[in-house]
Structure 1
Amino acid sequence: MRRRLCWHPVHRCFGWCGARGGAGADGLLWHTDLKPHASGDFSIAVVQANNSLEDQGQVLASPSTTYFGVFDGHGGPEASRFVNNRIFSHLHEIASEQGGLSVEVIRKAFNATEEEFLQLVKRSWLSRPNIASVGSCCLVGAITDNVLYVANLGDSRAVLGKQGSDGRSVVAERLSRDHNVAEEDVRKELAELHPDDSRIVLCNRGVWRIKGIIQVSRSIGDVYLKKPSFSRDPLFQQCAAPIPLKRPVMTSEPSIRTRKLTQQDLFLIFASDGLWEQLSDAAAVDIVFKSPRAGIAKRLVRAALTEAAKKSEIKYDDIKHMEKGVRRHYHDDITVIVIYLDHFEGKASKLQGSTFDCTSAPVDIFSLNAATT
């Protein structure tokens, strides 16, 4: 399904858009096989494992700019749904005000989304104080004028598939940094930021966590770990144990990378950590390189589920027929977006039923946002 939608207000335009498996298929898997964007095609898929789907994924395509994002929630689905509804609106509005996309525009859009979620927490405080403990990883990509921007909070991951030196193979290049304390450099970064707190990162049963609570060090939300007054509030302590914080232990400052795309850059894989827990960067890139385009995101999800089943010594069909909630014991929610990069002029015509300008005119929005599931 394809929709012509206006930017203003973007958050009213979102809804689930895609195909769901038929009889005998995985009833918790949604996908869009292949759609056009300004410099190629894209495919998107999501599979649910939690009782409430905490992953969100979205692509916005216009003739001049393509936005795509993966938002992996934790503590509940509220933050990831909020980010899915708001961050591209902020990006577009700020880019329009400042004459185009830039690193500073992206930084401001992330800050605006974080501030807006904070205001939501404050408005909801008396009725839902536990919303202060909800957060979301946030991985955003944008392509404009043949320049790729990648901005990241948390441990969703962007990987580029590029042509090997022999011209016949593919090489994986990671474009984002995992803000997860499983990574030694992230633990070191936190230790340097908190020299007076020897317990800033704790290992419990082989898993590193900030203050013994959370693995990711950057996010949208998680207000109680960014503003100590929330965690000290008696209302919050009715639904969570008190956390003695001297200062914030998380941040919403994104890592941002820019890259001029070349003819050797073949495709991008943007995915939540549910995929990367099962597949290496190289394995995922190899699957995309060797497979037909149509349904490629779904193919990556199924490869991850097959690997998850193998680890638990069960069959893929066993996982496929499990109910949400139960499946979380075997794999996480998984969202995958594959963006093909074709690098030739005229590709934008696939999007143009009529001529329109990205700064004020309609765009096509493709969103796997199963908010009611």
Structure 2
Amino acid sequence: MWPTLKAASEVPAKRKVVASEGCDGLLWWQELVPCQAGDVSVSVVQANFFLEDQWCIESASPLGTVIGVFDGHGGPETARFVCDQLLPNLQEAMSSPLAVTADAIGKAFLAMEEGFIALVSSQWETKPSLAAVGTCCLVGVVHQGTLFVANLGDSRAVLGKVGHDRRIIAEQLSSEHKVSDEGVRKELMALHPDDPDIVVLKHNVWRVKGILQMSRSIGDAYLKHQQFNREPLPAKFRLREPFSRPILSADPSIISRSLQPSDRFIIFASDGLWELLSNEKAVEIVHKHKRTGIARRLIEAAMVGAASKWEMRYSDLKKIDRGVRRHFHDDITVVVLFIDHGMLVKDHAQGHRAVSIRSTPT
């Protein structure tokens, strides 16, 4: 269920990293791992019967540091596929080894989308339900002194930076595609003017076609291609009315910015964290505590909040098994990157602090 670090013999030019990791029931963590952009802490807690979150950290010259958080829905298959394919697709999309651009990242997202749709097509007769599986996709790339953040769905990246008064400030870096946002609903309605049910308020929650809460994803082929909205896809997934244009998009929102000396750390997390902690609270926790194990500390703070909502103790929540646990909180993945500005200006041809870590499919 939980990941392993690849040894240098498995990953050319990447040294073996020995880091403290631990597991407490459904909670797993890696305390702190050095990478080319600084130090990184990661933690995951499972709530679904099958863990649908996946993540990866790839840090090596000349690309830099790549962090991915993939929050699957309908099953883990798309998140696993994207976790496997992000790095090779990103490398393929770059016109040269040093050409990390927003355009290259966008091409990598498109390649992952096309690759998964091709997989759905190839398994259509034997595993049609794969057409109803998708994932949100949050990717951060630190290349030399530039940060890129690309997002599909409702995961989030938040920067912690020091203000003029030396107080820590939270700045959200990613754009989210949740139909709870009026702007996202208007965007969908403008794209589908002939469909009065493109967004539906169901049990007080806005959903696309009454199904998903996000408007963009990788996968979800049955909501993008009419050819998959038919038998043998189980009837519970099929839309009653045919459609002529994709209902969901796989076009990511991408930002780039030069990292400043005041930028301290970035929190990358699936929406399970942000449902329970505000941007400001999460940044405050990271700022006030030691780096080691900080991702685990964030998840524990979120679970304390989840327990409180249900008027129960955190110790009792921890005893609830996977599957049933989903009634109390979602799968949560957190990756915290502490930025070392000194490392960013060093010789990028060196293999120092190179590392490759990723979640292991269950």
SS of aligned partner of 1:236: coil
Deviations 1:204-263 (A, max 9, x none): 1100001111111101000000011210x2211456343422321101000000010000
Match of 2:308 in 1: 310
Label 1:164 to 1:346 Cα distance change in 2 as closer, same or farther (>3 A). closer
Instruction: Report if aligned partners of 2:58, 2:66 keep a CA contact under 8 Å in 1.
Output: yes
Amino acid at match of 2:251: E
- 2:239 maps to 242
% of aligned pairs identical? 47
Retained in 2: the 8 A contact 1:6–1:363? no
Query: What secondary structure is seen at the aligned counterpart in 1 of 2:108?
Result: helix
Instruction: Give the letter for the 1:303 counterpart.
Output: A
The aligned counterpart of 1:68 is 67
Which position in structure 2 is the counterpart of 1:205?
203
| Partner deviation per Cα, 1:278-325 (whole Å, 9 max, x = no partner) | 000000000000010000000001000000000010010111111100
Q: Number of aligned pairs?
A: 351
* 2:334 is equivalent to residue 336 of structure 1: yes
CA shift for structure 1 position 197: 1.4
Deviation at 1:94, TM superposition (A): 2.1
Corresponding residue of 1:81? 80
Question: C-alpha separation between the residues in 2 aligned to 1:347 and 1:148?
Answer: 14
AA paired with 1:100? A
SS at match of 2:141: strand
User: Residue 232 of structure 2: SS of its match in structure 1?
Assistant: helix
- SS of aligned partner of 1:107: helix
Shift of 1:196: 1.5
Structure 1 residues 132 and 324, CA, compared in 2 at 3 Å: closer, same or farther? Answer: same
Structure-2 separation of matches of 1:363 and 1:116: 28
Which amino acid in the other structure matches residue 11 of structure 2?
C
User: Retained in 1: the 8 A contact 2:145–2:344?
Assistant: no
Scaled by the length of structure 1, the TM-score of the pair is: 0.89
Name the residue aligned to 1:3.
7
Which secondary structure state, in structure 1, belongs to the residue aligned with residue 336 of structure 2?
Answer: strand
- Classify the secondary structure of the residue corresponding to 1:279: coil
1:136 aligned residue: 135
Counterpart CA distance in 1 for 2:237 and 2:335 is: 35
Paired with 2:113 and 2:346, the residues of 1 have a C-alpha distance of: 33
Please tell me whether the aligned partners of residues 63 and 348 of structure 1 are also in contact (alpha carbons under 8 angstroms).
Answer: no
Structure 1, gaps ≥5 residues long:
9-16
- Supply the distance in 2 between the matched residues of 1:49 and 1:201 (Cα, whole angstroms): 27
SS at match of 1:79: helix
CA contact (8 A) 1:202 1:212 kept: yes
Alignment of 1:110-121 (within 5 A): 110-121=109-120
Q: Could you say if the C-alpha distance between residues 240 and 7 of structure 1 is closer, same or farther in structure 2, counting changes exceeding 3 Å?
A: farther
Counterpart CA distance in 1 for 2:114 and 2:189 is 26
Question: Does the 8 A contact of 1:45 with 1:368 survive in 2?
Answer: no
Question: For 1:89-135, what per-residue CA distance to the aligned partner results, in whole angstroms no more than 9, with x for missing partners?
Answer: 11123226475110110011001100110111011111110100000
- For 1:325 and 1:260, how far apart are their aligned partners in 2? 42
Secondary structure of 1:259's partner? Answer: strand
* 1:216 alignment partner, one of 214, 217, 220: 214
- The answer for the alignment partner of 2:35 in structure 1 is 37
Q: Is 1:164 paired with 2:155?
A: no
Would the aligned equivalents of 1:181 and 1:215 in 2 still touch at CA under 8 Å?
yes
Instruction: Give the TM-score normalised by the residue count of structure 2.
Output: 0.92
Q: What is the CA–CA distance in structure 1 between the aligned matches of 2:172 and 2:240, rounded to whole Å?
A: 35
CA distance in 2, matches of 1:89, 1:105: 12
- Residue 20 of structure 1: aligned partner: 22
Matches within 5 A, 1:84-123: 84-95=83-94, 97=96, 99-123=98-122
Q: What runs of 5+ residues in structure 2 fail to find an aligned partner?
A: 14-18
Tell me the amino acid that sits aligned with residue 6 of structure 1: V
C-alpha distance in structure 2 between counterparts of 1:205 and 1:114, whole Å: 31
Paired position in structure 1 for 2:275: 277
Superposition map of 1:283-298 within 5 A = 283-298=281-296
Distance 2:99 2:134 in 1: 29
